[in-house]
Every structure is written in C-alpha cells, then in structure tokens.
Chains A and B, each alone.
Chain A
Amino acid sequence: MQYTAEERAMIWLDSLPQIEYRGKIALLRAAKDPAVLLGEWEKFSSAVIKDGKGRVYNIDRASRERQADELVRSLDEKGYFAISLVSEDYPESLKAIPDPPLVLYGAGRRELLKRRRFCIVGSRMTPPWAEKQARTVSEKIASRFVVVTGLAEGGDRAAIDGALDGGDLISVLPCGLDHCYPRSHASLKEKIASRGLLLSEYPPDAPSAKYYFPARNRLLAGLSEGVLVVSAREKRSGALITAGYAAEYGRDVFAFPYNIGIAQGAGCNELIKKGAYLTTGAEDILSAYGMEAPEEQRVSLTQEERLVAETLREHGELHAAKLAQLCRMSLPEAMATLASLEIKNIVVKSGGNRYSAL
C-alpha cells in the first residue's frame, strides 16, 4: 500500500509506546506536519515532552526512517492498512470526537469508512428473543447503513450475524488485529475481515487489556450516526458506556424496551427514561433518519400457524402447554405448529419451553 510521507510519519509516531496520546498530539501541534516531526525529531521531542521520555527516541534520523519503513512493510505483509488523522478518508465523524485515534488499523473493505454508519451493541447475556430481534434489525439496517459493532457474544454477535452476509459490517476490536477477543470467535473474525471490515486503534501486535474495552466503545460511538442498545444491565455494562459516548458526541441513542424486572434489559429501560428512542424494529431507526424500511417478504401461513402467532403476539411470552390450551390444540399439534413457525422465523424459543413472537 502506498502511504504519503505524512501517513508514514503518523504510523511511526503511533508505534512509540512510551509516549502517551496527549504527548503525541502536542508533538504534532508543535511540528505542524508529521513528516517534519519525523525528520527533525530532536528539535521537538525534548522541548515538548518534559519528563524526558521523548529523549528515548533520540536516535539518528536514518534509524527513524528505517523504523518507519519496517512498520509499513510489516503492515503490508499482513495485509492490513492504516488510516491516520491526516489521511483523506479518515472518518469525519471520528475526527469530531475529543480524542480520535492517530491511526486506525484495518483489514478488509476500506471503502466502508466512506459510507453512513450505524452502531448496534448489546451485552453478552442477551435474551434469545432480543438476539433474534437484533439480528433482524441489523439485517434491515444494513440495507442503508454500514453496521458497526464489536466482536463479543450476545448482542454484538447478533448484529454481526444480521449484516455479515451483505458484508456491510465494521467490527472494532479491543486489541490489535493479530489478536482475537473472545478467542472462540477467531473464525468469525476471519469472515468479517474477508466480507466486511475489522478496525482497531492499536498496533496489530497489541494484546487486549481491560481498559481497552471502554476506549474501543468510544470508537463504536464515534464512528456511528446512532447507537442501538439491544440489551444492557444497569451497572457495569459496556453497551451503556457506548451509549454514553454516543450521547456525549451528539449521536442518536436507540434502545429495545424490556419488561420490568429483567436484569438483562434494565440498562435499556434506563436509557429510554433518559430520552433514548424506544425501538421495536428497524423501521423506528430508519424513520428517525428519514428513510424507509425495505419491502418485507410476505410469508404464507396456515390457519393454525396464524392462530398461534396471533395468540403469541397478544400474550407475549407463553409456555407451549399454555399456548396449546389457549389455541384449543393438543400439545403435539401446538409443538408441531411452533416448530414450523420457528423455521419460518416468526417465533423464537426462549428456554424453559416458552415461546414469543417476533
């Protein structure tokens, strides 16, 4: 990949672990041009960084150039690309946040960064119905937006599943691109890299750390026009952190509503109380942006199926035996009808033999 002199200098600057983010920004301000900073490092480093850490890199210019070349070469070798603050296609929405990453490392379809983006997040303990609903929303949203999410199980996974087929999907990692968290999603990560886009603000070889997660969440919010929270506990929820950043950055916040007393959704209800859009489907999100939902495919149902589906809609979640009773069917009949509706993606089983309609 071709990098301009500025971009190359930014990649080098980003790779210096001893200098904090703020120090790097100060250096860039002082030098005005990153290429100048790389060329005349000694002039700025000790002046700007007072604690002496800047001097660590007081190596001669040829070595600095060699380091920069090495970094670019290693990125190329792994098939990654780097977009820096000075790059032409660095996302505007990300520039607008107080602390945009100097460099974003990516693998996959870079052009997705030029499109409109919408973020879907949820906790790892997302109830089955919300997972399925999130998947449907993600699938529909992906027709208009690029879906932005993490790589975790539960809510993130549902968003990924919905958008992965179309490939309009960005997954932001809490670690370098060489790593995968959770590890069990390694093959999923590969799929996203080949069909969509993987992003990280950390150099490729950086392993994940606890405090990377909230930092990553600021990118999810920063990259997106809005955030949908599909599930969140009331406390210590990463999805709530993301929603908090979104509100701070002036992006829209959407949330699924939950029954009272369901811990996995208490955070969502809290968001709605504070003014988030109550969201029951992709239409709510799309209409907030003045868009129309894509045409839905009509599924043909038998008489029993219609009866069961309508009864479920009316009553919310129901035990299969109770449902059979309400529909005046035998239990085996009801089971057969439910299985058929499940295959048609109209009902979802939520554990303990209970079903709910979507």
Chain B
Amino acid sequence: MIAKVICYALNGLEGVPVEVETDVNKGLPAYEMVGLPDAAVKESKERVRSALKNSGFAFPLHKITVNLAPADLKKEGAGFDLAVAVSLLKASEQLVGTELGDTVFLGELSLNGDLRPVSGLLPILISAQKHGFTRFVIPRGNAKEARFLRGAKIYPAATLAQVVGHITGAAPLEEQQSADFFSLVTRRQSAVDLSFVKGQPMARRALEIAVSGGHNLLMVGPPGTGKTMLARCIPTIMPDLTFDEALEITKIHSVAGVLNEEGIVLERPFRTPHHTATTVSMCGGGNRAVHPGEISLAHGGVLFLDELPEYKRSTLEALRQPLEDGVITITRSAGVVTYPARFMLCASMNPCPCGNYGSDHLTCTCTPAEIRRYRAKVSGPLLDRIDLQVEVDSVGYDELTSEEEQEDSRTVKERVDTARRIQRNRFEGREISVNAEMGERELREFCPLSRECDDILRASFERMKLSARARSRIIKVARTIADLDASEEILPRHVFEAVSYRTYDKME
C-alpha cells in the first residue's frame, strides 16, 4: 500500500512542500530512500526504525521504498523524520481507516520516539500557510516559535505516540494558543542605556543622527574610550520592532538555528562578528545548505564591526553590494538563495596604529606614512557608504566618575521616533522609509538646495578636498539633521553640520 504525507523543506527563507511517499511491498526486507536526500535525511531510516519500535509499533519486514517528491530538490536535515514515520505507519496499515488530509508533519525523531525541535520552523509555517495548508503537527520544542502565526491550527506534540493518538482520534492534541507579540515586547528591558555613557557629546549626536536617518556610522577613537559601549546603545534608541519586522527577522534567525527562548525576536539584532570572520560567515553560504550570514542575522538591526581595518579586505568589500541593495543573493552549485540584509553598519577603528592620534594626554608616535597605510586598509568605496564619521574623545578620569546625569536612551529615542515619523510621511507609497535609502530621484524631489547651501557644499569641496561621491551622502545627512530640527527646508546650518561629519575624508 502507498501512503502520502506532507512535509516541508527550506530553500533560503522559502518553504517548499515535499510529499513523503512510502510504499510497503512484498519482497526481501529492504529500506530504500530516494529523492535526493542528504546524509542527515538518509540516517532517518535508523531513527525511524528505533522510534517506531520504542513507541510500541512494528517495523514492517518488507521491501520499503520512501520517495521524497519533488525528486529534483535537495533535502537536508532531520525535519522529515516525523513525516517518514507517519507515512510508514500508514503504508504498513498500522493506522487503518484514518485520513491525514492536508496536515503537515514536521519534526525530528529521537530513538525513544520523542520529537525534537527543528530549525527554520517559522518560515516553513508562513510559506505553508501561503500554499493553503492550515493544519500542522510540530515538535513541542518549537511551540513558542509557532504561536505568533494567525489562522492556523497548530498541534505541538512531545512524542510519536502522541502524534499517532492525535491521528487516530484516540487522544487529540491540544491546539496551540496564539500569543500577543506586543505583550512580550513591553516587558523587555535592555542591559545598556545611553545614560551609562559618560561624556562623548559629539558621538551621541552622531549616533542620534545615524539612527534617525538610517545612516551608517564610523567611530574613530583611541582604544578604550567607549566605542563599543556606544555601539551597543544603538538598538536602545532604534524605533520599536513592528510585528512584521519581528517575524521577518525571526524567520532568518530560525533558519540559522539561533533563535532565542521566546521563539520570536523581540529586540533589534546587534551582531558583532569578530574580525577573523570569513566572507562566507559574513555574507552567508556554506557547502551544503546555504546559511544566512552575519549581515542577514543583523537584518533590521545593527552590524557592528569593531576594529574595522583588522577585517580582511575581501570580506569588507563583499559588504558593499548588500549595503546598497539591502539583500544578498548567494549563488552556489546547490542553488540560488536570497536573504534580506538591511542593517545599519556601525564600525569603529583607532585613528592610527598606536591609537593615540588626537589624544590630549598621549603622544602619537606614528609617521604619516604609517597612518596612511593603516587607514588605507579601509577602502574608499566602503568608506563612501559610511555617511557619518565621528571622532570619539578619550575620556578623562574626572568625566568617568562624574555624577552628572547623562541623557538616557528613552529621551533620545523619542526624538528619533519623531524624525522617523517625518520620513515615513515623506516617503509614503515608496519603497524606502529612511533618508539614507534615497536615490537620485528622491534627492532631487525632497532635498532641493538653496543657493546658499549649494555654495557651502562647493566651498567644502574645494577647501576640504571632499570626494565628489561624498556630495549626495552629505545632502542626505543634512536632510536627516533638518528632520531632527523639524525643519521643512535644509538650512545652511544643517549642511555645515553634515559636512563636519566627514572628518575622515579630510584626514589625508
């Protein structure tokens, strides 16, 4: 007899339905699995065999053929175990007279018949729902991740026996209650806050502008001055996650298998890959499955690159295209996968190899050639995509221990939210949502420059030797500064301030 059970495979963030067909026939006992399974899928034979026996079922001593259709799609991971077990039970007539209908079965089996959680469940559920499936049996370990899906009947199960009980109707599983996303969000409190950062008025201002307009930021400063601390505060002043954003980020994190306990991402991601990171770990890839990289895991949040010049040049160059497009398309022999990668890049570096350039109490011992070599490690094109470059001050002991109350993240966030609201209204009905994403067309439409402002820009180019490419970046930053200032027009003072954040271009 032949049995069919629906399961799902993942291709990037897209779920693809897979039919598990099992045929139990007379013949010499054998167990064949076809349909491009990878090693983990093939090994499911042994897991299914033990799980069936240990759950009180018989493993048929016949010729068994399992086909995973469509046959040309590569199947990976252990998520097919449950579907294979159920179809085997049905094909061997141990589940007589039951109708599976269009229930989707997902889960990995352990040898004693327990169900283990699988990665990438949320994107599968979302895709499956789009394809018209509404009933799902999933491992209990994935229950939290599934509870934000609306309009689907989801049955978490702990063991294979429970699943069988559910199918036969002997002991139906309880349906998963959907949870409210926002009730979870409000009770979160961040471990860092801008009020913990002492001094640094310039960097604070730059941070505020960067987050308001979605600009990328480079902090240059001596070692140990709080660059990392400042960067960690960025998520605390970013606008709250919307449910759709959270879902999208959760999908990526789910596929990568790094999802938190809650089953949904509640805070904007803050990723800090070490400078030894490879291009593949940064951008995504891998020899079997195409996994999302750090830039995709930072989607909707911050990618913080500490000690920027220490990263491999090729790795940094690979960031250029996703910085522009907000997505990364990875091509491998196994297939082509596109992951979202719209993140805010925040980088930090020392001003020179010894780190003391510009310090008020230490002397820099680097020669101009050394400084130039050090800075040249960060390529011009990448630097060009970083709109704000700010120097971080070395903090004196008095400042460090001062009791003076510093502005906290909440106050700054309110200003950021206002500026973001202005931008949302401005870009109503367009693909973009923040100033940094403006193209030539939007620049012309929303950033007309008065004669005076244009003169300022012209003068800056001549005096400060700014690159021609820096022009539109400066205008975008000026637009954000004007938004923070609640000014309809870009005024000279906005342009001046924007110019002052191109320090790096001026330091030859």
A interface residues (Cβ-Cβ under 8 A, vs B): 124-125, 153-154, 182, 184, 262-263, 319-321, 324, 331-333, 335-340, 342-345, 349-354
Contacts and interface: CB of A to CB of B under 8 A. Distances in A.
Contact of B205 (A331, A337, A338, A345): A331
A350 B358 contact: yes
Contacts of A349: 503, 506
Interface in B179-234: 199, 201-202, 205
9 contacts: A331-B201, A332-B497, A336-B492, A340-B456, A343-B459, A343-B460, A350-B358, A351-B357, A352-B391
Given A321-B202, A351-B391, A352-B393, A124 B367 contact: yes
Contacts of A335: 202, 205, 496-497, 500
Interface in B365-395: 366-369, 372, 391, 393-394
B500 A336 contact: yes
B499 interface: yes
B367 A353 contact: no
Contacts, number: 84
Given A331-B201, A352-B391, A336 B493 contact: yes
Contacts of B497: 332, 335-336, 339
A354 B463 contact: no
A26 to B, nearest CB: 41
Contacts of A320: 201-202
B363 interface: yes
Interface in B335-356: 351
A125 B496 contact: no
Given A335-B500, A351-B391, A321 B201 contact: yes
B85 interface: no
Nearest to A184: B369
Interface string B488-508: 000011101101100100110
Contacts of A352: 358-360, 391, 393-394
A321 B200 CA distance: 9
A337 B506 contact: no
Given A331-B202, A345-B463, A353 B368 contact: no
B58 interface: no
Q: In the A-B complex, list the 10 residue pairs whose CB atoms are closest, starting with the nearest.
A: A351-B358, A352-B358, A336-B496, A339-B500, A336-B493, A339-B496, A321-B201, A153-B368, A336-B497, A343-B463
B359 A263 contact: no
B359 A338 contact: no
B500 A338 contact: yes
A125 B368 contact: yes
A342 B460 CA distance: 9
B40 interface: no
Nearest to A333: B493
A342 B358 contact: no
Contacts of B507: 351
